[in-house]
Amino acid sequence: MNPIEKLTDLFEHFPGIGPRQARRFVQYLLSTSPVIRQELAEAIKSLGAGTAQCRRCFRWFPIDDRRAPSASDAEGALLCDICANKKRDQSLLFVVEKDADIDNVEKSGYRGLYFVLGGAIPLAAEEPAKFVRMRELLKRAEAEGSKKSLKEIILGLSATTEGDHTRLILQENLMPIADVHSLKLSSLGRGLSTGSELEYADPDTIASALNSRN
């Protein structure tokens, strides 16, 4: 593969980018100055070096060099600032589809913990665990439920068809664990309009959906 084909192929893996757009990106880069190409290459490189994925909630977070070495759990796994914060309510677990949802939920005043599912489960999916971190979620619910630290799992999925579908599958799979460890399984209440994603909902709406969760 020549460099043009190689880069086109890489861009095609980006969400929502087809072959035509991928080729346009490459054409743009060919026409731009080497300085800009260099800057882009450096930014991509430092993205890997300056960030880490939290081993507990799976969100990506910047590693801050100015602070003491990042917090880690008993096994030495890297934790984000939210998971490492012992003052946060350890009894609440908010399940979101993606990292960007967390920023918005934080603004609503929620102070429990999170779990990033990594997407929604497509309607026709035969193996849901292939699309989202369902196994990891079940494992965490079991571990923290048996320690009695966790009391409630809030499913904060998008108010879309896929979000609803994902919630049903998660409920079905979490139910046996919830029964054994007396965990409450709840979902965001009314307020989020149909079709809306947490990422774009305003913090007040999220706060009221949280208050009316059931």
What type of residue is 35?
A: V
Which of 22, 26, 78, 80 binds Zn ion (CB under 5 A)? It is 80
Of 35-43, 54-62, 160-168, 201-209, the window that binds Zn ion (rule: CB under 5 A) is: 54-62
Give the one residue of 22, 56, 167, 170 binding Zn ion; rule: CB under 5 A. Answer: 56
Q: Which stretch binds Zn ion (CB under 5 A): 10-18, 47-55, 70-78, 177-185?
A: 47-55
Enter the DSSP assignment of 78.
B
Of the ranges 33-41, 73-81, 115-123, 159-167, which one interacts with Zn ion (CB under 5 A)?
73-81
CB 176 within 8 A of CB 83: no
As measured in angstroms, the least distance from the Cβ of 79 to Zn ion is 6
Q: Is residue 90 classed as helix, strand or coil in its secondary structure? A: coil
Tell me the Cα Rg of the chain: 20
- Closest separation between CB of residue 201 and Zn ion, Å? 21
For residue 150, state whether it binds Zn ion (rule: CB under 5 A): no
Residue closer to Zn ion (CB basis): 80 or 154 = 80
Cα–Cα nearest to 157, from 178, 181, 183, 134: 134
Q: Between 57 and 141, whose beta carbon lies closer to Zn ion?
A: 57
Give the residue from 203, 214, 204, 183 showing the smallest Cα distance to 92. 183
Chain-centroid distance of CA 36 in Å reads 31
CA-based nearest residue to 166, from 197, 131, 194: 131
Regarding 102 and contact with Zn ion (CB under 5 A), the answer is no
Residues in contact with Zn ion by CB under 5 A are 54, 56-57, 80, 83
